[in-house]
């Protein structure tokens, strides 16, 4: 399905999906060893999301992209298990599907993530990208610099600025809560 044939779909892809590719690849790298496998998962996820977009509106493109990539990854793992290339015990190492948390832990974690998300979203765009890639997805400064086409010094400076602003955000919220 060539995206170039549909200018609106191409624009939607460029605006709503592609900005998240770095984070998606970082997430996949933390679970898969082979870069070729990651490329295949990303490409298949894009195709599935674009196919779905042709049929219906997608309210949260980033979440839809990540969920689709996760499903593609799970499908690949299932095929490898079926071919005997992978044992079921190895699935735990991938951490693609983790259902071990209790409901209470999951709710608490969800609230903490929501709080952190608001703090990160309060950052300027470039700063937010760098903090997210560095602190949440664990990418190295060198990889972030290469991914974003900026210098490592810029990554270092923007990360420091971002962390200071997040700390200030947390302090303001705590004061507002009476702590």
> Higher pLDDT residue, 125 or 84?
125
Q: What pLDDT shows up at residue 29? A: 82
pLDDT digits (tens, 9 = 90+) for 19-31: 888 888 888 887 7
Task: Kindly report the CATH number that applies to the domain delimited by 101-179.
Answer: 1.10.10.10
Number of residues that this document lists for the chain: 179
Cα separation, 100 vs 90, in Å, equals 16
Is it the case that residue 177 has pLDDT exceeding 70?
no
Task: Kindly report the CATH number that applies to the domain delimited by 1-98.
Answer: 1.10.1740
pLDDT digits (tens, 9 = 90+) for 89-140: 444 445 544 444 444 454 455 566 667 778 888 899 999 999 988 887 788 9
Question: What are the extents of the domains in the chain?
Answer: 1-98, 101-179
Q: What pLDDT shows up at residue 5? A: 75
Q: What pLDDT shows up at residue 99? A: 45
Highest mean pLDDT out of 15-19, 72-76, 77-81? 15-19
Contact partners, residue 58, CB within 8 Å, separation at least 6: 16, 49, 52, 64
Q: What pLDDT shows up at residue 118? A: 81
> Higher pLDDT residue, 81 or 90?
81
Is it the case that residue 154 has pLDDT exceeding 90?
yes
How far is Cα of residue 34 from the mean position of the Cα atoms in its chain? 18
Q: What pLDDT shows up at residue 102? A: 44
Q: What pLDDT shows up at residue 98? A: 47
Please compute, for residue 152, the number of CA atoms within 13 A of its CA located in the half-sphere on the CB side.
Answer: 5
Helix axes 152-176, 103-121, angle to 10 degrees: 120
Q: What pLDDT shows up at residue 108? A: 53
Say yes or no: do domains 1-98 and 101-179 share a fold: no
Q: What pLDDT shows up at residue 157? A: 96
User: Which residue carries 């903090």 as its tokens?
Assistant: 131
CB 139 within 8 A of CB 147: yes
Contact partners, residue 101, CB within 8 Å, separation at least 6: 109
């Amino acid at each position: 399905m060539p995206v170039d044939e549909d200018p609106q779909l191409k624009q939607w892809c460029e605006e709503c999906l592609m900005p998240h590719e770095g984070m998606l690849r970082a997430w996949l790298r933390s679970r898969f060893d082979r870069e070729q496998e990651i490329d295949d998962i990303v490409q298949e996820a894009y195709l599935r999301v674009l196919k779905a977009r042709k049929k219906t509106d997608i309210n949260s493109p980033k979440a839809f992209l990540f969920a689709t990539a996760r499903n593609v990854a799970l499908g690949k793992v299932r095929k490898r298990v079926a071919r005997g290339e992978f044992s079921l015990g190895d699935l735990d190492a991938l951490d693609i599907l983790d259902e071990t948390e209790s409901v209470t832990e999951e709710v608490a974690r969800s609230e903490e993530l929501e709080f952190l998300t608001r703090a990160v979203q309060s950052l300027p765009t470039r700063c937010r990208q760098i903090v997210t890639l560095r602190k949440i997805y664990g990418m190295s400064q060198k990889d972030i610099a290469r991914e974003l086409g900026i210098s490592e010094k810029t990554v270092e400076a923007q990360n420091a600025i971002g962390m200071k602003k997040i700390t200030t955000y947390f302090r303001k919220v705590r004061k507002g809560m009476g702590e």
